[in-house]
Amino acid sequence: MPMLMVRRARHEDLDDLTALLCLLFSLEADFDWDEKKQHQGLNLMLNNSRGCVLVAENENRIVGMCTGQVVISTAEGGPAVLVEDVVVAEEAQGQGVGRALLEAMAAWAREQGATRMQLLADANNTPALQFYQQVGWRRTELICLRQAV
């Protein structure tokens, strides 16, 4: 994309980011869309000193986003970054937006002292899994489990 810019998200981006999450959650079987909850979660992320919300912008229009949070990894003996909410608007897919977002997140992760990034992806989202493999991510033997508290 000729005018693509990746930057930190701002509070005035919340409506656009929430709309992107609607697209993402329509693809993921484990999550239900709830605009109020997603807006609240994004607001919390924007105020999280150990988190990062990135947007990809093309000609003043947000076409993608990615979030990351620093966690402590006992396996690494230090910080790692949990990447979530990688989503690119349908009309911008296949144009390097996702790659640019993940490269920017990797730069942020290095600034945080992280030695690893990790993410969860829907097991049935074949295009996303192929994309992650193309940009250097690899599958692990771990599976995700969750429980409400």
Indicate the pLDDT class of residue 52, thresholds 50, 70 and 90. Answer: very high
What pTM was estimated for this model as a whole? Answer: 0.92
Indicate the pLDDT class of residue 1, thresholds 50, 70 and 90. Answer: low
Residues in the chain: 149
Q: What are phi and psi of 94, to 5 degrees?
A: 80, 15
Q: What are phi and psi of 21, to 5 degrees?
A: -65, -30
Indicate the pLDDT class of residue 105, thresholds 50, 70 and 90. Answer: very high
> What pairs with residue 54 in β-bridges?
8, 66
Indicate the pLDDT class of residue 42, thresholds 50, 70 and 90. Answer: very high
Mean pLDDT of 98-118: 97
Average pLDDT over all residues of the chain: 92
- Count of CB atoms situated within 10 Å of the CB of 110: 12
Indicate the pLDDT class of residue 83, thresholds 50, 70 and 90. Answer: very high
Cα 130 versus chain centre, distance: 16
pLDDT at 145 over 70: yes
* The one-letter amino acid at 20: L
Query: Can you list the positions of beta strands (E) in 24-77?
Result: 51-58, 61-73
pLDDT given at position 24: 84
pLDDT at 143 over 90: no
